Amino acid sequence: MANIDVTRIASNIGALNALNSLQTINQKLAMHQTRLSTGKRINSASDDPAGLTIATKMLARSEGLKVAFSNIGDANNMLSVAESGLSKMTDILIQMRNKAEQAASDTLGSTERAAIATQLSSYASQIDSMVEETKWNDVKLLDGTVDKRFQTGVDDGEYTQWQLLTKFDPTTMGVSSVVANDSASVTSGPTLVGGSTPFTGLGKLSTGSYVTEILGTAASATVGKVTTSSQFSGDAGVTFIASTETTAGLSSGANAIAVTGYNSTTDVLSYTVNGGAVQTHTILALNASNTIGTDGLKLNVTGTDDLATKEAAMIAIAAGANKTYNLDYVHKNQVQFNLKTGSGETVGIDANGTNGTTNPTSTVAYGDWNAAYNTGRGISLTFDAAPVAGQTKFDWAVKNDYSVDVSTAAKASTYMTNVTTNLDAVNSALSTLGSMMARLDFKSEQVANAQVNVEGAYSRIMNANMAEEQMNASKYTILQQTAIAMLAQANQAPQSLLSLFR
C-alpha cells in the first residue's frame, strides 16, 4: 500500500487506498451474499476450479448410483414375476405327482386312470399357459431363453447377470407329449372318424379319455324297439308293443295294441285294442304332459325320435284310466347312445347329427347303423351294421394339446418319477432365483449407502456453509461502512494545506 503524503495534493493517495479497500470489501461481500442466496459455495468456475471439477464428477456418480438403485428395484420386480410363476408351477407338479401316485396303484381301473390322465393333461396345458404368460415387458421368463444383465453399478461392466436356461414346458419336462394332429384311438366298438378337416369350426372335445355308451338298439334293420322304465314293474294287464313301422299285425295278448295306420300329414294315429274296433286319435304332442284322447291312453316319448318323423308307434294301454307310461323307442336301423368323459360326466352332443351344431347340448342321441354321426364335437361316430348295447372307450386328442399315458400302474409309476425329477428342477430354479434376489437386496443397500456418501462429499465441496457465509457477510457489511467513512475522511485531508495560502 502506498504511503500517504498530504503535501502532494495532485494525487490523493489516502483516498485511493480507502477506495481500493472499499472495492475489495464490496467484491467479497457480493460473493458471500451470492452464496447465501444460492446455497452454493461454487457459483462459477473461478470460485474454485479444482473443486468444481471434483464436485461435478461426484455429482455424476451420485446420479448414476440413483439410477442403479432404481435398476435393482426393477430387477427385483422381474425376478418376483418369475418366482410367482415357478411357485405356482411347483404347486401344479405336486398335484400331478399325487395323481400319478394314485394311478400307480392297482386298486384303480382303466376308467379311473383315464380320468386321471385327462386331469394330468389339463395340468400340463396349464404349465404351458404359465410359460406363455409369465412375462416382463413382453419377454418370457420361463421358456429357457433368459440371459439378462442388470446394470447395478455406475460404470460400464458393473452389472449383475441372471440366467434361467431351463425350459419349463410340458414336452421338454417330459410330463406330457404334444398331439401332432386330431386323432381318436379305439380298442373296441364303433369306428371313430376323427380329424379337424370335416369339422372345421365345430366345438371340439378336450384331449382325454371318453366313453360312447350304446343304450339301446333297434330290433333289426326293419323293426324298432321300445324299452320302458322300472315304473312298469307289477302293473298288471299292460303290454308294450313296437310296430313294424308300416303295418299292423303286432303281438297279441291282454290289452295288446295293433297300429293300423298313421297319417304323418294330419298326425292321426289309428289302432286297435285286443283286435277290437279301430280307434283314431290325433297326436297333440309327444311329451309327458299331453294326452291322446280320453280313454286313459297317453303317449310319452323321450329322446329325439317321434312319430311324425319316424313313422313309428309307442303305445301303452292301461286297465285303469289316465295312467301315464314313459317309453324309450329306438327307430329301425338305429342305436340310442350318449357320450361321457372317462370320469362319467355326460358330454353334450348334437341332437340329430346332421348339422354338427357348434354348441351341442343333447345328452342322448339316435344314430343310423353303419353311417357317420356328427356329434358336433369335432368327431363323428360310425356304428356297426348290427351294434349291441355296451360301452366303447376311446381316447381323443386335439392337435397341439397335451397327452398323458398312465394307463397302467407301471406307466403311472414311471410318470410319477419323472414328475418328481422335474419338481426338483423347478425347486432348484427357485433356489437360484431366491439367491439372486437376496444378492440384489445386498446390492441395493450397498448402492444406497454409496450414494449417500458420494452426495455428502459433493455437498461439502459444492454447497455453502450457510452459518459461515452469514458471518462473513455481516463482517464485510460493517467493513463496507467503515471503508466508506475512511474514504470520506481521506478526501478531507488535503484541504488542510489551504491554510498555507492565507
How is residue 336 written as a grid cell?
340310442
Give the closest residue to 388 by CA, choosing from 189, 222, 242, 225. Answer: 189
How is residue 169 written as a grid cell?
414346458
**Domain residue ranges of the chain, discontinuous segments joined by +:** 54-177+407-454, 180-218+334-399, 225-330
Instruction: Read off φ and ψ for residue 194, nearest 5 degrees.
Output: -110, -175
Cα 473 to Cα 25: distance, rounded to the nearest angstrom: 10
CA geometry: angle 332, 336, 340, nearest 5 deg = 165
Strands 326-330 and 300-302: parallel
How is residue 470 written as a grid cell?
452469514
Helices within 162-209 (DSSP H only): 170-173
Question: Locate cell 429357457: which residue?
Answer: 144
User: Model-level pTM greater than 0.95?
Assistant: no
Cα 480 to Cα 33: distance, rounded to the nearest angstrom: 13
Higher-pLDDT residue of 230 and 142 is 142
What pLDDT shows up at residue 377?
84
Q: How confident is the model at residue 350 (pLDDT cuts 50, 70, 90)?
A: confident
Q: How confident is the model at residue 266 (pLDDT cuts 50, 70, 90)?
A: low
Higher-pLDDT residue of 259 and 59 is 59
CA geometry: angle 269, 273, 278, nearest 5 deg = 50
How far are the Cα atoms of 330, 332, 339 from residue 220, in angstroms, in the given order?
Answer: 10, 6, 23
Cα 88 to Cα 96: distance, rounded to the nearest angstrom: 12
Averaged over 9-24, what is the pLDDT?
85
Instruction: Read off φ and ψ for residue 54, nearest 5 degrees.
Output: -65, -45
How is residue 105 written as a grid cell?
396303484
**CATH of the structural domain 54-177+407-454, one choice from 3.40.50.1820, 1.20.1330.10, 2.40.50.60, 3.40.50.970:** 1.20.1330.10
CB 448 within 8 A of CB 68: no
Q: Percent of the chain scored above 90 by pLDDT?
A: 33
Phi-psi region of 499 (alpha: psi -120 to 50; beta: other; left: phi over 0): alpha
What are the beta bridge partners of residue 216? 336
Q: How confident is the model at residue 437 (pLDDT cuts 50, 70, 90)?
A: very high
Compute the mean pLDDT over every residue in the chain, rounded to the nearest whole number: 77
How is residue 379 written as a grid cell?
368327431
Q: How confident is the model at residue 261 (pLDDT cuts 50, 70, 90)?
A: low
How is residue 99 written as a grid cell?
395323481
CB 229 within 8 A of CB 326: yes
Model confidence pLDDT, tens digit, residues 28-60: 999 899 989 988 998 888 888 999 999 999 999
CB 129 within 8 A of CB 85: no
Model confidence pLDDT, tens digit, residues 158-173: 999 999 988 888 888 8
Cα 446 to Cα 72: distance, rounded to the nearest angstrom: 11
What pLDDT shows up at residue 90?
95
- Is the predicted pLDDT of residue 418 greater than 60, yes or no? yes
- Is the predicted pLDDT of residue 67 greater than 50, yes or no? yes
Question: Locate cell 432348484: which residue?
Answer: 428
Q: How confident is the model at residue 85 (pLDDT cuts 50, 70, 90)?
A: very high
- Residue-wise DSSP of 367-394: EEBTSEEE-SSS-EEEB-SS--SEEEEE
CB 390 within 8 A of CB 211: no
Buried b (16+ CB within 10 A) or exposed e, 149-165: ebbbbbeeeeebebebe
What pLDDT shows up at residue 176?
80
Model confidence pLDDT, tens digit, residues 450-490: 999 999 999 999 988 899 989 999 999 999 999 999 888 88
What pLDDT shows up at residue 447?
95
Helix (H, G, I), strand (E, B) or coil at 326: strand
Q: Percent of the chain scored above 70 by pLDDT?
A: 75
Name the DSSP class of 463: B
Which helix (H) or strand (E) segment holds residue 301: the answer is strand 300-302
Torsion of CA 410, 413, 415, 417, to 10 degrees: -140
- Is the predicted pLDDT of residue 308 greater than 50, yes or no? no
Averaged over 215-233, what is the pLDDT?
62
How is residue 252 written as a grid cell?
297279441
Model confidence pLDDT, tens digit, residues 124-140: 989 999 999 999 999 99
Model confidence pLDDT, tens digit, residues 352-377: 787 777 778 888 888 888 888 888 88
CA geometry: angle 186, 192, 194, nearest 5 deg = 110
Phi-psi region of 39 (alpha: psi -120 to 50; beta: other; left: phi over 0): left
Averaged over 393-400, what is the pLDDT?
79
Higher-pLDDT residue of 363 and 437 is 437
What pLDDT shows up at residue 199?
61
Number of CB atoms found within 10 A of residue 465's CB: 12
What pLDDT shows up at residue 384?
81
Sign of CA dihedral 327, 393, 381, 362: positive
What pLDDT shows up at residue 118?
82
- Cα 178–chain centre separation: 20
What pLDDT shows up at residue 277?
60
- Is the predicted pLDDT of residue 27 greater than 80, yes or no? yes
How is residue 347 written as a grid cell?
358330454
Averaged over 246-259, what is the pLDDT?
37
CA geometry: angle 191, 370, 220, nearest 5 deg = 125
